[in-house]
Chain A
Amino acid sequence: MSGGALGRVVRAGVGRRRTQTAVMVLTTLLSVASAVLAVGLLVASGAPFDRAFSQQRGAHLTVRFAGSADSAGAWPAATAQAPGVAAAAGPFALVSVRLRTDGTATPPGFEPPPLTVVGRASAAGAVDAVTLVEGRWAQAAGEVVLERGSRPPGAEVGTRLTAGSVVLTVVGIAGSAGESADAWVVPAQLTALAGERPTAFQMLYRFTAADTRAEVEAGRGAIVAAAPAGAVVGARSYLDVRETAQENTAAFVPFVTAFALLGLAMSVLVIGIVVSGAVGAATRRIGILKALGFTPFQVGRAYVAQALIPGSAGVLLGVALGNVLAVPLMAEVAETYGTTAVLIPLWVDVVVPAAALAVVAGAAFGPALRAARMPTAAVLRLGESAAGGGGLRIRGLLGRLPLPRPVTLGLAAPFARPARAASTAAAVAFGALAVTFAVGLGSTLVAVKTDGDPDKGGDVTVRTVARPDDPAPGRPGAEDGGPGVPLPGKPADPAAVAAAIAALPGTASVYRTAGTQVEVAGLKGGAPLVAYEGSTAGSPHTMVSGRWFAAVGEAVAPTRFLRATGVRVGDTVTLSEQGRTVRVRIVGEVFDLGGDGMTLRSDTASVAALRPPYMPADFAVTVAPGTDPADYAERLDAAVSPLGAEAAVTEAGKSSVIRAMQALIVMLTLMLVVVACLGVLNTVVLDTRDRVRDLGVYKALGMTPRQTVVQVLTSVGTIGLVAGAVGVPLGVALHRQVMPAMGRAVGTTIPSADIDVYGAPLLALLATAGVVIATAGALLPAGWAAGAATARALRAE
Chain B
Amino acid sequence: MTGPEPLIELNDVGRTYDDDRAALSGLTLRVARGEALAVLGPSGSGKSTLLNLLAGLDRPTTGEVTVDGLRVDRLNETASATYRRSRIGMVFQFFNLLDDLTVTDNVLLPAQLAGMPRARAAARAAELLERLGVARHARVHPGRLSGGERQRVAVARALMNRPPLLLADEPTGALDTASGADVRDLLRELNAEGQTIVLVTHDLALAEACATRTIELVDGRVARDVLAVSR
Contacts and interface: CB of A to CB of B under 8 A. Distances in A.
Contacts of B109: 405, 698, 701
A702 B84 contact: yes
Interface string A676-711: 000000000000000001101111111111110000
Nearest to A385: B99
Interface stretch (A526-534, A728-736, A786-794): A786-794
A795 interface: yes
Given A701-B85, A703-B113, A790-B57, A386 B174 contact: no
A316 interface: no
B81 A388 contact: no
Interface string A397-411: 001001011100000
Contacts, number: 92
A795 B169 contact: yes
A254 B136 CA distance: 65
Contact of A704 (B77, B92, B94, B118): B77
A291 interface: no
A702 B86 contact: yes
A406 to B, nearest CB: 8
B113 A707 contact: yes
A787 B81 CA distance: 12
A787 B77 contact: yes
B150 interface: no
A399 B98 CA distance: 13
Interface string B27-64: 00000000000000000000010001001011000000
A297 B56 CA distance: 48
Interface string A136-177: 000000000000000000000000000000000000000000
Contacts of B112: 404-405
Contacts of B114: 702
Contacts of A705: 77-78, 81
Interface stretch (B2-10, B100-108, B185-193): B100-108
Interface string A410-422: 0010001000000
Contact of B110 (A392, A702, A787, A797): A702
Interface in B111-149: 112-115, 118, 141, 143
A399 B94 contact: no
B96 interface: yes
Nearest to B163: A702
Interface in A30-45: none
Interface residues of B, number: 38
Given A388-B100, A706-B78, A700 B94 contact: no
A178 B55 CA distance: 84
A145 to B, nearest CB: 84
B100 A416 contact: yes
A744 interface: no
Contacts of B110: 701-702
- A388, A406, A702, A796, most chain B CB atoms within 10 A: A702
Contact of B98 (A388, A404, A704, A794): A388
A702 to B, nearest CB: 2
A395 B174 contact: no
B11 interface: no
B96 A696 contact: yes
A796 B84 contact: no
B93 interface: yes
Size band of the A side of the interface? Answer: 35 or more
B82 interface: yes
B96 A693 contact: yes
Given A399-B101, A405-B113, A795-B93, A704 B57 contact: no
A791 B85 contact: no
Contacts of A392: 100, 141
B77 A786 contact: yes
Given A701-B85, A702-B82, A707-B113, A389 B96 contact: no
A396 interface: yes
A700 B100 contact: no
Contacts of B152: none
A797 B143 CA distance: 13
A696 to B, nearest CB: 7
Contacts of A791: 48, 52, 57-58
Contacts of B82: 702, 704
A704 B90 CA distance: 16
Contacts of B157: 701
Nearest to B89: A701
- B52, B82, B161, most chain A CB atoms within 10 A: B52
Interface string A769-797: 00000000000000000110011001111
A701 B90 CA distance: 8
A585 B82 CA distance: 83
A702 B160 CA distance: 12
A399 B174 CA distance: 30
Contacts of A790: 57
A387 B93 CA distance: 18
A694 B81 contact: no
Contacts of B169: 794-795
Contacts of A697: 96-98
Contacts of A389: 100
A737 to B, nearest CB: 43
Nearest to A386: B99
A470 to B, nearest CB: 85
A700 B90 contact: yes
B74 to A, nearest CB: 17
Given A700-B57, A707-B113, A794 B96 contact: yes
Contact of B81 (A395, A412, A699): A699
Contacts of A797: 94, 174
A416 B99 CA distance: 11
B113 A701 contact: yes
A6 to B, nearest CB: 32
Given A704-B78, A706-B78, A791-B57, A388 B113 contact: no
A117 B93 CA distance: 98
Contact of B92 (A395, A402, A412, A795): A795
- B94, B96, B97, most chain A CB atoms within 10 A: B96
A656 to B, nearest CB: 53
A388 B99 contact: yes
A298 to B, nearest CB: 33
Contacts of B86: 702
Interface string A711-722: 000000000000
A655 B157 CA distance: 68
A707 B110 CA distance: 13
B212 to A, nearest CB: 25
A790 B100 CA distance: 19
B63 to A, nearest CB: 18
A699 B94 contact: no
Contacts of B97: 697
A707 B157 CA distance: 19
Contacts of A707: 81, 113
A396 B105 contact: yes
- B102, B112, B161, most chain A CB atoms within 10 A: B112
25 contacts: A388-B141, A396-B105, A399-B101, A404-B112, A404-B115, A405-B113, A693-B96, A696-B96, A699-B81, A700-B57, A701-B84, A701-B85, A701-B157, A703-B81, A703-B85, A704-B77, A704-B78, A704-B82, A705-B78, A705-B81, A791-B57, A794-B57, A794-B90, A794-B169, A795-B169
Given A386-B99, A702-B161, 10 more contacts: A388-B143, A392-B100, A402-B118, A404-B112, A412-B100, A416-B100, A701-B157, A704-B113, A794-B90, A794-B92
Lowest 8 CB-CB distances: which A-B pairs, in order? A702-B85, A388-B99, A405-B112, A388-B100, A704-B81, A791-B57, A702-B84, A797-B94
